Structure 1
Amino acid sequence: MSIYIGNLSYDVTQDDLTQTFAEYGTVKRVQLPINRETGRMRGFAFVEMDTDAEESAAIEALDGAEWMGRDLKVNKARPREERGSSGGSWGRENSSRRY
């Protein structure tokens, strides 16, 4: 499992996140998604820590904390949702309706 960190400053680096989260345990991995078009950070990140207890301690300590001029949103990351082409059936179901 990993931790989601939202409302990040666009100036944050992997080293910044690693140092901050290392106060709560061993940081295994840091991901900073980048906008493909602009090359800028997208304002959120994911951090993986060694144990669930370390992740819980970091979440409890940092959620809502002010860091680099912003109030962080820190919680357990949700599994990524599949992005299929599911929009097509809506039109077929409703195509016979008259308004």
Structure 2
Amino acid sequence: MNLYVSNLMSSLRDEDLFDIFSAFGRVESCKVIVDRYTGVSRGFGFVEMPERQEALDAIRELEGRDIEGRQISVSEAKPRVDRDRGDRRY
């Protein structure tokens, strides 16, 4: 199950997400999304947990929890929709 995690502190890294979510079960991958130009966290990320029940437990326990001074939001990720970028040339 792919989870969407938001309202993250900019100092939080992939390894930190792994540590937080692995308390609830097996974690396949974690990725904090960063700005491609500055390398600074955009405040959200994704966690992949193969066992649905473990992912649901993580959502239930972590939704609204204070992590490094911010209340994070955790939910099931929606499928990615490719946006039409048109025929822009830069």
TM-score (norm 1): 0.81
The two structures, once aligned, show a CA RMSD in angstroms of 1.3
The Cα of 1:82 is off from its aligned counterpart by 2.1
Counterpart for residue 36 of structure 1: 36
After superposition, the C-alpha distances for 1:2-21 in whole angstroms (9 at most, x for unaligned) are: 00000000000111111110
> C-alpha separation between the residues in 2 aligned to 1:76 and 1:31?
15
Structure having the larger proportion of residues in strand: 2
DSSP-derived class of the 1:84 partner: coil
The amino acid that maps onto 2:60 is E
> For residues 81-96 of structure 1, what are the structure 2 equivalents within 5 Å?
81-84=81-84
The Cα of 1:34 is off from its aligned counterpart by 1.2
Unaligned 5+ residue runs, structure 1?
A: 87-99
Counterpart for residue 94 of structure 1: none
How many matched pairs? 86
Name segments (4+ residues, structure 1) moved above 4 Å: none
Counterpart for residue 13 of structure 2: 13
DSSP-derived class of the 1:33 partner: strand
The amino acid that maps onto 1:9 is M
Counterpart for residue 54 of structure 1: 54
DSSP-derived class of the 1:54 partner: helix
> C-alpha separation between the residues in 2 aligned to 1:78 and 1:64?
19
The Cα of 1:50 is off from its aligned counterpart by 2.2
The Cα of 1:85 is off from its aligned counterpart by 5.2
> C-alpha separation between the residues in 2 aligned to 1:70 and 1:81?
28
> C-alpha separation between the residues in 2 aligned to 1:85 and 1:76?
26
The Cα of 1:54 is off from its aligned counterpart by 0.7
> C-alpha separation between the residues in 2 aligned to 1:81 and 1:60?
26
TM-score (norm 2): 0.89
